[in-house]
Amino acid sequence: MKKKRILSGAQPSGLLHIGNYFGMIKRMIDFQDSSDLFCFIANYHSLTSISNKEELEKNTFNAFSDLLALGLDSEKSTVWVQSHVPAVTELTWILSNFTSVGLMQRSTSYKDKVAHGLIPNMGLFSYPVLMASDILSFQSDIVPVGKDQKQHLEMTRDIAIKFNNTHGPVFTIPEIDIDESSEIIFGIDGKKMSKSYNNTIPIFGSEEYMKNQIMNIVTDSAGLNEPKDTDTPLFNMYTLFLNDDEKNELKDRYATPGLKYMSIKNELYEHIMDYFSKQRALKQHSLDNPDDIFDLMDIGRKKAEVIASDTLSNVKKAIGMV
Ligand code: TRP
């Protein structure tokens, strides 16, 4: 049976943290053997929020090399940078003609972003059309995304259906795959881990910074000889790195008087450094050998371009571009 094509993209936005990893990236990496995986860095989408050239360049390089260091494999899968495949932006223009303004005006993400101070320009407004093009260019079967992206995916389906109804079945209508099972990963302050709350534990941060963040995880003031609450950020974070037996063991230790949060934090630090040691070494290797990363970007670009150009040419034929 032909493998399903799964596609997802991520904006390059600074240091990846363990919330990104356990929320989405690990899931993508696990898909690699069972599906035809497509994954890209959405640097054109980042123009809506980053206007500093160096920052965008650095973030794009980092985001791409981070995904590879974490286990995306550019041989098995197709991993590329959005702006390297211009067929996608060309298709965006065509798709705009199948996108109703009313639909865009109802975008909750657009309204949210403007409310948070992003500039309401046409790039931000048309963001979902570019996203539709990312997905439709590659004839994706399934798009796994977080809850916040659900409406964008509905718009993509809407655009594709409108196109197909007008010009014939050119596009695969993608399925939306929202992972409802994934638990919220709490940051060091107990709120959802997020870069915008500054409460993350980065995967590729300096040892000193990571240690510091872990030491700052909020804990309660339970006395040494009281049992400890497991519904807390420190426990929650530690269990990300444990199997079921180990989790139960930790639970027992929390129930037993004498537990010191300080020792749990030290252990967690060791676990995190151990869990990501291979990935951190790979990341360091990329930083020392940036040309290796540029070569891998090129491999991804070539693979992605073949498919996106093929879709674009079918679309142009279908609409009457001679
Ligand atoms: N908008 C997505 C985000 O911010 C990133 C993205 C861009 C994307 N294009 C995509 C995700 C296509 C899935 C499919 O998270």
Ligand 1 center from residue 207 Cα (angstroms): 30
Question: Which residue out of 5, 6, 7, 8 has the highest number of ligand 1 atoms within 8 Å of its CB and is therefore the one to mutate?
Answer: 8
Taking CB atoms within 8 Å and a gap of at least 24, the contacts of 120-127 are: 121/48, 123/47, 123/48, 124/48, 126/92, 126/96, 127/45, 127/48, 127/152
Q: Are 56 and 43 in contact (CB under 8 A)?
A: yes
pLDDT band for position 170 (50/70/90)?
A: very high
Helix (H) or strand (E) holding 300: helix 290-319
The whole-number average pLDDT for the span 59-75 is: 96
Alpha carbon distance 218, 185 (integer Å): 14
Residue nearest to atom 14 of ligand 1 (CA): 8
Max mean pLDDT range (132-141, 146-155, 186-195): 132-141
DSSP state of 243: -
Determine which of 22-31, 101-110, 122-131, 158-167 has the lowest per-residue pLDDT on average: 22-31
Percent of the chain with pLDDT over 90: 89
Q: What is the pLDDT at residue 255?
A: 96
Cα separation of 69 and 85, whole Å? 23
pLDDT number for residue 24: 86
Number of H helices, E strands in the chain: 16, 5
Quickly count: other Cβ atoms within 10 Å of residue 190's Cβ.
15
pTM equals 0.92
So what's the pLDDT on residue 172? 98
**Tokens representing 49?**
């929020």
Confidence of residue 1 (pLDDT cuts 50, 70, 90): confident
CA–centroid distance, 59 to ligand 1, in Å, is 16
Domains plus CATH for the chain?
5-184+290-319 (3.40.50.620), 204-275 (1.10.240.10)
Q: How confident is the model at residue 311 (pLDDT cuts 50, 70, 90)?
A: very high
Of 45, 143, 48, 130, the C-alpha closest to 90 is: 130
pLDDT of 320 reads: 98
Q: Give 224-248 pLDDT, tens digit per residue.
A: 999 999 999 999 999 999 999 999 9
Spatial distance between the Cα atoms of 102 and 99, rounded to a whole number of angstroms: 9
Among protein residues, the one with the nearest Cα to ligand 1's atom 10 is 9
Q: Is the pLDDT of residue 181 over 80?
A: no
Rounded to the nearest 5 percent, the helix, strand and coil shares of the chain are: 60, 10, 35
pLDDT value at residue 141: 98
pLDDT at 195: 84
Q: What is the pLDDT of residue 197?
A: 87
Summarised one tens digit per residue, pLDDT across range 244-295 is 999 999 999 999 999 999 999 999 999 999 999 999 999 999 999 999 999 9
For ligand 1, mutation pick of 20, 44, 45, 80 (most atoms within 8 Å of CB): 45
Whether pLDDT at 14 is above 90? no
Q: Is 80 exceeded by the pLDDT of residue 33? A: yes
145 alpha carbon – ligand 1 mean position (Å): 8
Q: Ligand 1: which residue has its CA nearest to atom 15? A: 10
pLDDT at position 3 over 90: yes
Query: Whose CA is closest to atom 8 on ligand 1?
Result: 9
Instruction: Kindly tell me if the per-residue pLDDT of 180 is higher than 80.
Output: no
Ligand 1: centre distance to CA 236 (Å) = 27
Q: Which residues line ligand 1 (CB under 6 A)?
A: 7-11, 42, 45, 131, 134-135, 143, 145, 149
Q: Look over the chain and give the mean of its residue pLDDT values, rounded to a whole number.
A: 95
Averaged over 110-130, what is the pLDDT?
A: 94
pLDDT at 148: 85
CA distance 16 to 57: 16
pLDDT of residue 146: 83
Q: Whose CA is nearest to atom 2 of ligand 1?
A: 10
Of 167, 165, 107, the residue nearest 131 (C-alpha): 107
Q: Which positions ≥6 away from 316 have C-beta within 8 Å? A: 94
